[in-house]
Each structure stands twice: as structure tokens, then as C-alpha cells.
Structure 1
Amino acid sequence: MGRFHRHDDAQDHGHDHGHEGGHDHLGDHSGYGTGSDRIAVLERIFDENDHCAAHNRADFDAAGVRAVNVMSSPGAGKTALLARTLDALDASRVGVIEGDIETALDADRLAATGARVSLLNTAHGFGGECHLDAPMVRDALGRLPLDGLDLVFVENVGNLVCPAEFAVGEHLRVMVYAITEGEEKPAKYPVMFRSADVVLVNKTDLLPHLDVDLGRFYDYLARVHPGVTTIELSARTGEGVEAWIGWLREHANAPLREAPA
């Protein structure tokens, strides 16, 4: 089923989610005899999702947990970045809801850091969805010891469209952009970039080997989300990750790993 972007997410991310040009966010359905029925179904889907997202958010708040929704295209480096992030944190105080269509490869990689991981394979019982929604996340929360955690990462399914349209109860949204994806991505996928509280510019170690103009990327980003925080880093080398950890400490109460005595 196709999706449309809503303006009234269950939690306020502090951003204007309207479309450029003042177009109706429902689109023009005049060419479809069942357009109004389809809109009603979509509205019901989003209303039910938002209701569940509010419950998820309440559970996070009651446990004193900050939830961070991590989104990107496939292959942008979310899992590699999270693995390096967890190595810098007290992973025993961090949970991960790992979303993938198939396999436990990423979940196993992150569980090896000591984090508590709850896997969601959307191909099994969730229709193979290309995103996580609030009911899926609620299902995964039952397998995490929230009372013993300070921070939960929701690693969303790799996709630059649908994940941004579904609130899951998160407090913050992080978008991981890889420089290998092309400078025009913010213009082509504005909803994803506009919904982010911080954009992590990953794989900067490859800059000397690529014909990439980061200035153009930042120009496009400024058009869709002026003033958004950006952090350049490399999950492979670790360069810039300290700044990312600092952002997490400031905004998500991330638990640092204790230094050896």
C-alpha cells in the first residue's frame, strides 16, 4: 500500500513537516474512483500508529529511557556506526531494537557489544514491511528490560522514504547519510532529512577517493532543513565519532563506559 506523509506525528520533533509549494499532503486522488476510501484507510492506519507510538513513548518516559530512531538508506553505515557507538558507551545500559526484513546479522553484531538487542524481522509476521512502525516497536519492547536501561536505539529498516512517515515513540530522530549516495539526496528525499534532529555525514574517509562535492549536499540540506545539526564522521576509522557521542550525551543521556581503574 502506498503511503502519504502526515503533519501531526505522535510526538513533536520541532520541525515543520509540510510539503514544499503548499500542496495538500493527501495528494490529488481525483483520478481514482476509490480515492476517498483509500484516504480513510490511510488516515486510520496513521491514527492507530500514532496512538500506539504515544503508548511506547509513555513506557520509555516511565522507565527514564531516551529512545533514538536511527534511519538511513541501505548500506549507509547505521549498524557499523552503532557498533562503534556501543563500544564507547556502557552497552549494558543500552537497548537496541533492530529492524531488518530478513536475517539476524546486524542484531548479532550489535549484541556482541553487550547491548540488549530485540530483533524485528519484518518478513516474519509483519508483511515484509520496509520500515518499522509503532506496533512493531511495541512488540519488541516486551523483550527489553527497560527498567535497567538508559538509552534505546531503534535501528530502522534501510529505506529513505517510509521510516520517516511512522512515529514509533522515539524522542529523537537521527539520519545517517553516506557521502557515496550522491549530493542530491536531501532534495530527492526531503521528508527523511526534514524529520531528523541530527544528520550524520558518514564515510568521510572516502572523500579523497570520490568525486563528491559536500558543499552541494549542504546546500540541498539547507533548502529542506535549514539549521539542522550535522556531524561529519567515519564509522570505519572512528574519526568524528567523539562528536557524535558528545551529542548523544547532551541530548539522549547516553551512558559512557567507565574508564579502567
Structure 2
Amino acid sequence: MCATCGCGEDGVTVTIPGHTHPHEHEHEHHDHTETVTLEQKVLAKNDELADRNRAWLAERDILALNLTSSPGAGKTTLLERTIRELSPRRPVAVIEGDQETLLDADRIKAAGARAVQVNTGAGCHLDAAMVQRALRTLDPEPESLLFIENVGNLVCPALFDLGEHGKVVIISVTEGDDKPLKYPHIFAAAELVIVNKIDLLQHVVFDVKKCCGHVRSLNRRAQILTLSAASGDGSAQWYEWIDECAKTASSRTPVDKI
């Protein structure tokens, strides 16, 4: 379980869209009395598995990106557009994380990519063990692009390395420009911050410059992009960023824990 939020792998299922049965696995359970000790053990075990995932991906020259956001920020819509526009030149696969349903995995499959759905039950984030199981089920092609769409949550995903090459944090203009200050750890861990739904700027109170300033106060190395996943405005710079990541993925190192 996660010592910070109480979630864990109880009830987790990994399912391929169109299959009638989830891929269940047995889990070990241990009792711990010290919360701090438990958290240290959980994160240490997670980091070990994340390193294995990273090595597995590197051996196959697969670029893996961990997409995080609040619910409804537009992760799946962005992935649908990305799949349609990038899959003709590079295989794309997706690990979908949600507490319940296969809805997003079905959308990804309809967009043209192979997908596997991880349902976390009461859990509020993916962890390296879940991703390891999903990788075994999905078995993405060598030299492919792998997106890991995390559960909609800006808290726990900041702590859990999945073995990805980088975290991408998506914020929509409907959420408020102070979101980075309220959830600093995830923005500090990001390699890219996307401000999405810019097509709605005329309808909401959102200061893009102020939001970017908040991100910069937490993380000077992260790139910041503005786009609309719905209309496609600004998507070219997102694809350019992905291409640049693909060129340098082999030399990337994990982001330090916050």
C-alpha cells in the first residue's frame, strides 16, 4: 500500500480492450506499524522495479512518457490526436490508468494504438509494479512510443517513478492559473508542462503568463507548451518535443525525488 494515501494493489486489474477477463496476479501483503518505515520500503521497492522497467524499455529503444494531470484536463484527448498524427511514422502504444472502466483504453484503441487498461480500484495512482505487469501484457514494439496515462491526480504520481523517460504534466485553463502553487511536487518533477484548452481562454479567467511564472518558480528546467488538444492548435511543438526526447532518451537519467 501507499503510506501517503493508503492505496495499493488490492483490486488492481490489467485488461486488454476487447478481452473478457482481466490479468489477475497474486500479491504479497505485509503488516507494518511505522508509517515512515512503510513509506520508505514502498518507495524503495517501487524505485527498484522502476529501474527494471527503464532498463527493459531502453533495451528495446522505447520512449516512455508518463502523462499526469487532474481529472478532465485533456490527457486522453491529447493522446487521441497524437496517435492519429504520429502513428503513421512510429508505432504508438498506451498504458491507461483509471480506477474503473475500460472507457479510455477503448478510445485509445479506436484512435489507432494498442492499449492496455490498468484499473487501480481504490488506488489513486499507478506504480512501477502495475506498469511492469502492463508492459508484459502489452509488449510494445521495439522503437515505439509508449504513453503511460496516469490516474487523474496531481499528488501521489509525483512520488512514484514508473520507469519513464520523463513526466509530462497537463493543466487546463479551466483549472486556474495557481494550480502549480497548490501542487508543487508534481510540477517540480516535470520535464514538460502543457497548458491545454487554450481555445477556451476567452471564456475563463486564466493568466497564462502568471501560470508559467509559477511553474518556473518551482522548476527552471521544464519546458512549457500551450496548446489545444481539441483543435490541434500548438500540437506541432508537442510533437517536436517528443521527437527531441526520442533522440536523447538513451542518455536521460531519472529525475531526483522531491
Where on the TM-score scale, by shorter chain, does this alignment land: which range?
Answer: 0.7 to 0.9
Which residue is 1:194 aligned to? Answer: 188
Amino acid across the alignment from 2:4: R
**Cα separation, partners in 2 of 1:119 and 1:36, compared to 1, 3 Å:** closer
Secondary structure at 1:135's aligned position in 2?
Answer: helix
Q: Is the 8 A contact 1:69 1:155 kept in 2?
A: yes
Secondary structure at 2:138's aligned position in 1?
Answer: coil
Which residue is 1:212 aligned to? Answer: 206
Q: Determine the C-alpha separation between the residues in 1 that align with 2:87 and 2:229.
A: 18
Give TM-score, length-normalised by structure 2. 0.81
1:176 pairs with 162, 170, 174, which one? 170
Which residue is 1:3 aligned to? Answer: 4
Q: Determine the C-alpha separation between the residues in 2 that align with 1:145 and 1:215.
A: 41
Q: CA shift at 1:70, angstroms? A: 0.5
Q: Is the 8 A contact 1:201 1:231 kept in 2?
A: yes
Q: After the TM superposition, which of the residue ranges 226-235 and 97-106 deviates more from structure 2?
A: 226-235
Counterpart check, 1:47 vs 2:41:
no
**Cα separation, partners in 2 of 1:200 and 1:42, compared to 1, 3 Å:** same
Q: Determine the C-alpha separation between the residues in 1 that align with 2:136 and 2:222.
A: 33
**Cα separation, partners in 2 of 1:164 and 1:173, compared to 1, 3 Å:** same
Which residue is 2:126 aligned to? Answer: 132
1:81 pairs with 75, 78, 103, which one? 78
For residues 114-129 of structure 1, what are the structure 2 equivalents within 5 Å? Answer: 114-123=112-121, 128-129=122-123
Which string of whole-angstrom CA distances, capped at 9 and with x for unpartnered residues, describes residues 163-221 of structure 1? 11100100111111111111111111000101110101100000111122222212211
Q: Is the 8 A contact 1:60 1:146 kept in 2?
A: no
Counterpart check, 1:61 vs 2:77:
no
Secondary structure at 1:69's aligned position in 2?
Answer: strand
Q: CA shift at 1:36, angstroms? A: 8.3
Q: After the TM superposition, which of the residue ranges 35-44 and 68-77 deviates more from structure 2?
A: 35-44
Q: Determine the C-alpha separation between the residues in 1 that align with 2:143 and 2:244.
A: 17
Unaligned runs of 5+ in 1: 5-34, 254-261
Which string of whole-angstrom CA distances, capped at 9 and with x for unpartnered residues, describes residues 6-30 of structure 1? xxxxxxxxxxxxxxxxxxxxxxxxx
Q: Determine the C-alpha separation between the residues in 1 that align with 2:40 and 2:50.
A: 15
Secondary structure at 1:112's aligned position in 2?
Answer: helix
Q: Determine the C-alpha separation between the residues in 2 that align with 1:46 and 1:78.
A: 26
Unaligned runs of 5+ in 2: 6-31, 248-258
Q: Is the 8 A contact 2:3 2:38 kept in 1?
A: no
Secondary structure at 2:48's aligned position in 1?
Answer: helix
Q: Determine the C-alpha separation between the residues in 1 that align with 2:173 and 2:60.
A: 37
**Cα separation, partners in 2 of 1:149 and 1:115, compared to 1, 3 Å:** farther
Secondary structure at 1:238's aligned position in 2?
Answer: coil
Which residue is 1:26 aligned to? Answer: none
Q: Determine the C-alpha separation between the residues in 2 that align with 1:59 and 1:227.
A: 26
Secondary structure at 1:120's aligned position in 2?
Answer: strand
**Cα separation, partners in 2 of 1:227 and 1:60, compared to 1, 3 Å:** closer
Counterpart check, 1:104 vs 2:90:
no
Q: CA shift at 1:87, angstroms? A: 0.7
Q: Determine the C-alpha separation between the residues in 2 that align with 1:252 and 1:102.
A: 31
Secondary structure at 2:111's aligned position in 1?
Answer: coil
Q: CA shift at 1:120, angstroms? A: 0.2
Amino acid across the alignment from 1:188: K
Q: Is the 8 A contact 1:134 1:166 kept in 2?
A: yes
For the pair shown, the structure with the greater C-alpha radius of gyration is: 1
Secondary structure at 2:199's aligned position in 1?
Answer: helix
Q: After the TM superposition, which of the residue ranges 239-248 and 90-99 deviates more from structure 2?
A: 90-99
Q: How many residues were matched structurally?
A: 220
Q: CA shift at 1:2, angstroms? A: 4.3
Percent identity, please.
43
